Amino acid sequence: MPETASLTLPDGRTIELPVIVGSENEHAIDISRLRGETGYITIDDGFMNTGSCKSEITFIDGEKGVLRYRGYPVEDLAKNCSFVETAQLLIWGELPTPEARRDFSDLLTENSALPEDFRRHFTAFPVHAHPMSIMSAMINALQSYDLPGLIIDDEEEFERVSGALMSKVRTIAAAAYKSSIGEPIMYPRYDLRYVENFLHMMFSKPYRDYVPSAEATAALNLFFLLHADHEQNCSTSTVRMVASGQANMYASVAAGVCALWGRLHGGANQAVMEMLSFIQSSGMSVKDYVAKVKDRAEGIRLMGFGHRVYRAFDPRAVLLKDACDKLLNAMHIDDPRLEIAKQLEEAALSDDYFVSRKLYPNVDFYSGIILTALGIPVEMFTVLFAIGRVPGWIAHWKEIYDVPSTKIYRPRQVYTGSVRREWLNRFQREKGYTDSRGFKVPEELRPTQAPQADAVPPTN
């Protein structure tokens, strides 16, 4: 017997609503019949309690610090898999066989270069343009170089476009960086794997090859893998929303990049590093900085702390903290900001303000120190988050595309503006004719000397 939940409305009517149970025993009340049968809608600012879809891609249990891609714990994937294999898992639902792995690798390699005339667009941006703005614009521009990719009508075409997008996004990111520092854009190399190829395009020069260490490659691989998906976060929901209107994959992913840019979302990794650098250069103590955050007068947040879903710990932060220590040791780097970060974490985790609100370090807290050690400039941090998130966005785009019953995302609202108003000519709009909210004042309460109305309607 399927479970139902019963909702009693203010007028006494009762409606039975089906309860949906997910594969991890998550319970949700299906309200899809609510408005049709009762006229009521639900409201949930920030979607704190609202499931926007059913999805088979990623599972998070925020209370227990669990994150799984297609059923695999992220810790196991981090230990055993490359980012590219993880991308295949997310997009197609299974870890690839050796043959599928090789084919996809070849596809990425084949598609790594940008069309020759596309490269000139990079010079059109001002030198100090933020690479996220270049990234989103260029992904969108890329679709005009791949007109067949606008319509995906079979699995093979989906694979080609996914591979092209995943591969070219990395080339675009490196090219945006090279343009911003006035260096020649590097071509990808056909003999390098995904992560090494990115580092090559970032740091090689036409006259000198950059050869990353094994530790650097492993750390960046882990960074990308841990960012690859995170179910219905702000940017992924944006991608799904755009895709639900049947926008193509390039346009949907470009929208995801824009959503990711915000400081409360992907932009937090840049904000964390700026915060640590500020504490270091100002000489402010960690204790004073924490007090400033708690004071709330300046609206400062402890960046890299807190998460909508994780209420215990963010498993990605645990893995990145460990990787951060290993990388800095292997590279013999002594970054005082790592020490500041550790002190901040310790101070916050023993302070009731953070403990009572269940605020723990999130994925962005230690990732910036890793990226800094790799030589990645702070403005590129969110771009790297985006490269990592592309497979997740593609997987969600596919999920929308594959489910024929997907409806266009179109939430309702509760309107709180003016009720119907009468049009007033421009003289009647003066004080005395409308009240402070713009509502019309009754005739008997208006000034006695009424100004003349316009004889002719205004033309401008």
- Chain residues binding ligand CMC by CB under 6 A are 46, 230, 233, 264-266, 268, 293, 301-308, 357, 359, 362-364
Residue with smaller CB distance to ligand CMC, 175 or 253: 253
CA angle, 303 then 306 then 308, to 5°: 130
Residue with smaller CB distance to ligand CMC, 46 or 126: 46
Place of tokens 């498993």: 315
Which amino acid belongs to residue 23?
S
CA dist., res. 396 & res. 58, Å (int): 10
Residue with smaller CB distance to ligand CMC, 92 or 305: 305
Contact 125, 179 (CB under 8 A): yes
**Cβ 106 to ligand CMC shortest distance, Å:** 32
**Cβ 362 to ligand CMC shortest distance, Å:** 4
CA 299 to chain centre: 23
307 is catalytic: yes
Among candidates 310, 302, 293, 235, which has minimal Cα distance to 272? 302
CA dist., res. 162 & res. 218, Å (int): 24
DSSP assignment string, 298-366: T----TTB--SS-SS--HHHHHHHHHHHHHHHHTT---HHHHHHHHHHHHHHTSHHHHHTT--B-THHH
Contact 34, 41 (CB under 8 A): yes
Among candidates 283, 293, 266, which has minimal Cα distance to 367? 266
**Cβ 236 to ligand CMC shortest distance, Å:** 10
- Of 200, 307, 314, 396, which residue is the catalytic one? 307
**Cβ 245 to ligand CMC shortest distance, Å:** 24
**Cβ 385 to ligand CMC shortest distance, Å:** 8
Q: Under 8 Å CB-to-CB from 221, ≥6 apart: which residues?
A: 82, 83, 195
Residue with smaller CB distance to ligand CMC, 217 or 233: 233
364 is catalytic: yes
Contact 125, 134 (CB under 8 A): yes
Contact 225, 87 (CB under 8 A): no
**Cβ 116 to ligand CMC shortest distance, Å:** 35
Q: Under 8 Å CB-to-CB from 395, ≥6 apart: which residues?
A: 57, 90, 91, 229
Residue with smaller CB distance to ligand CMC, 204 or 362: 362
Residue with smaller CB distance to ligand CMC, 304 or 315: 304
**Cβ 451 to ligand CMC shortest distance, Å:** 49
Place of tokens 């092209």: 164
Tokens representing residue 235 in the block: 């940017």
Residue with smaller CB distance to ligand CMC, 362 or 372: 362
**Cβ 301 to ligand CMC shortest distance, Å:** 4
Contact 17, 31 (CB under 8 A): yes
Residue with smaller CB distance to ligand CMC, 311 or 446: 311
H or E segment at 427?
Answer: none
What residues are annotated to the active site? 307, 364
